[in-house]
Structure 1
Amino acid sequence: MKSLSWAPLGAFALAMAALAPVAHAQQKSVAVTAIVEHPALDSVRDGVQAALKEAGYESGKNLKWQYQSAQGNTGTAAQIARKFVGDKPDAIVAIATPSAQAVVAATKTVPVVFSAVTDPVAAKLVPNWEPSKTNVTGVSDLLALDKQMDLVKQVVPNAKRVGMVYNPGEANSVVVVKELEKLLPKLGMTLVEAAAPRSVDVSSAARSLIGKVDVIYTNTDNNVVSAYESLVKVGQDAKIPLVASDTDSVKRGAIAALGINYRDLGEQTGRMVVRILKGEKPGDIRPELSTKMELFVNPGAAEKQGVKLSDALIKSAAQVVQ
């Protein structure tokens, strides 16, 4: 009887031992880093995690999930990149250009998926928009600037001088400035730049535009977005309308934005990560663009900044922020 009672237990132990390596093999690791924390980039991170969960990869169960923010410091971004590369995860998600550049510089082997990068080619993350044949792919938040300027004209019909506060050290923003310098003269407008190398410089850079511009346009510059409230204060005090490309900025005091839903962008990025976790090579996956655009407007902010939005513009918005 003893041998009979122990036999099933022995068989069970052998079966569990056989299953153990399989369970271990199913465990995946994803490390996520962002240059700074602000609503748009946080939405990307949350979207990535949601897409992974939807595909069956859940933190604490079969997924090791790490997240670190560089708090706006490129030196810290490089440290995080080296640390994550040393951990040898199945994929690193790098949110925003400075973090993506840091991670790509740190590894040629660990799969890297960038997100919220305006121009990955100009940022030298990938050679072109075709599959890179390297360890890098990702999702861009590139916007059509002609449509952005159409929105500026709808908010401020007589605008001639467009101000832009930006970090000259961020490749995303430099690309936008160069494109606006080409585009605006064709529209009878000019660009007036104000540099903000750090988030603490945003307020003074905005004040330097007082009396020089009819409107301030903000792209997805991370320094500017992380300090957007200081820009809004200048806009309200000096009655300079603010038009953004980041819809979350409308909730924080911009008048309007025609932009990407960054939660959707994160989910799109997350689905790309899932493909890699299932065995695809990042170098075989073409970099993607987000094509879903949304118009947000804030009539209250418009009033505080000295303009009134047309009924037609308000009616066409996906969301009216009160």
Structure 2
Amino acid sequence: MKFKLLSVSVLVIACLVVFLFQKTRPYVKQLPLIAVANYGQHASLQAAIEGMQEELAREGYINNKNIRYIIQDVNFDLALIAQMIANLKNERPEVMVVMATPIAQFAKEKVHNIPLVYGVITDPLTAGLIKAKNVAGDNITGSSDQQNLPAFLTFVKRILPHAKRVGLLYSIAEANDAFLLKNLQKAAQAANMELIALPIDAPRDIPIKMQAVKGKADFIYVGVSGTIQPTLPVIAAEALKMNIPVFNADDSAVHDGLVLGSYGVNYKKVGANIGKLVAMILKGKKPAELEPLYPEDKDSHAVINRKQALKFKIALPKDLHDIEIVN
């Protein structure tokens, strides 16, 4: 008898738990969903996502309280983009945030009933995402990470006053890289510098391609290319063999001791701009009504790694009070 009573009690408790779970579960599902389609795990992309979430929290949108997130990436594999976008579409988000050019371009063509906000894209106009620099697309707007290249070269001149030749690796398959190549060429010419550009078909070609700058480049610049950035450790290793310092667009590699320096936008601020646009869409605005956002000059930040400078026997000037020096 006691066994039967115990069994009935356990059954009642189990049913109660299932009932409560089913009752609360739909509420979680009904929270407005923000889907993030990311290219891969990289410091600049992660910082932008964090900046977006922090800005949305400031706007009153708290994760698992009145909104929720789903974040996926393709580990920089172009072949997986279609499946990721299809998966996120099936989740029926209120907004889809598309990080990096290949992701945004695919989403623009395939997603028409979900508002799109791009992020970490250097030139959204050349990429075909928007109608004009300050005019959104029909269903897409976003936040650019466009770099101030003349200011970057001025920064380099302070560290390497005799530098005349800059090496650049760029992907032939990315619109971001085409924009970078064009604008770095223009900035280099204005700074009386020579640009040595190395087109890259595939990341595996980088060690061989880099031999073309041996004894020719005074430094190498690595931009925000979705193809080139993930290979930064390889670039840095090869450059070290050739005694060529490397400057990166993102400062995380400087803090990690991988490259000499960086001058670029703060990616959390790029992400904050994404958050502002997402918040306005959640409040009822349409992407076409929202002007695309770009970094301001004050959003750029310079960092130098002291150990890297010693490694390349670079004597740092004393007047670097406006530059962050890390060990």
Which TM bucket (shorter chain)? 0.7 to 0.9
Partner of 2:325: 320
Question: Which one of the candidate residues 290, 302, 306 is aligned to 2:309?
Answer: 302
- Kept after mapping to 1: 8 A contact 2:148/2:264: no
The 1-side partners of 2:303 and 2:82 are apart by: 35
- Kept after mapping to 2: 8 A contact 1:51/1:270: yes
3-state SS in 1 of match to 2:64: coil
3-state SS in 2 of match to 1:220: coil
In the TM superposition, 1:101-116 aligns within 5 A as: 101-116=105-120
Partner of 2:18: none
Q: Which runs of 5+ in 1 are unaligned?
A: 1-19
The 1-side partners of 2:284 and 2:30 are apart by: 12
Per the alignment, do residues 239 and 105 of structure 1 end up closer, same or farther by CA in structure 2, a change over 3 Å counting?
same
Partner of 2:194: 190
- Kept after mapping to 2: 8 A contact 1:239/1:306: no
Deviations along 1:222-256, one digit per CA (max 9) or x if unpaired, are 23322222222222222101122222221232212
Report the Cα offset of residue 282 of structure 1: 1.0
In the TM superposition, 1:57-72 aligns within 5 A as: 57-72=61-76
3-state SS in 2 of match to 1:93: strand
Partner of 1:74: 78
In the TM superposition, 1:265-280 aligns within 5 A as: 265-280=270-285
Query: Could you say what the CA RMSD is over the residues aligned between the two structures, in angstroms?
Result: 2.2
Partner of 2:59: 55
- Kept after mapping to 2: 8 A contact 1:172/1:221: yes
The 1-side partners of 2:214 and 2:137 are apart by: 48
The amino acid of 1:285's aligned partner reads L
The 2-side partners of 1:77 and 1:202 are apart by: 24
Partner of 2:13: none
Report the Cα offset of residue 133 of structure 1: 5.5
The answer to whether 1:311 aligns with 2:315 is: no
The 2-side partners of 1:244 and 1:114 are apart by: 22
Report the Cα offset of residue 25 of structure 1: 10
Report the Cα offset of residue 53 of structure 1: 2.9
- Kept after mapping to 1: 8 A contact 2:31/2:64: no
Deviations along 1:108-154, one digit per CA (max 9) or x if unpaired, are 23101011110000000001123325110001111121111112222
The answer to whether 1:221 aligns with 2:228 is: no
The 2-side partners of 1:110 and 1:189 are apart by: 45
Report the Cα offset of residue 89 of structure 1: 1.0
Report the Cα offset of residue 24 of structure 1: 8.3
What is the TM-score with the length of structure 2 in the denominator?
0.85
Q: Which runs of 5+ in 2 are unaligned?
A: 1-23
Per the alignment, do residues 223 and 132 of structure 1 end up closer, same or farther by CA in structure 2, a change over 3 Å counting?
closer
State how many pairs are aligned: 300
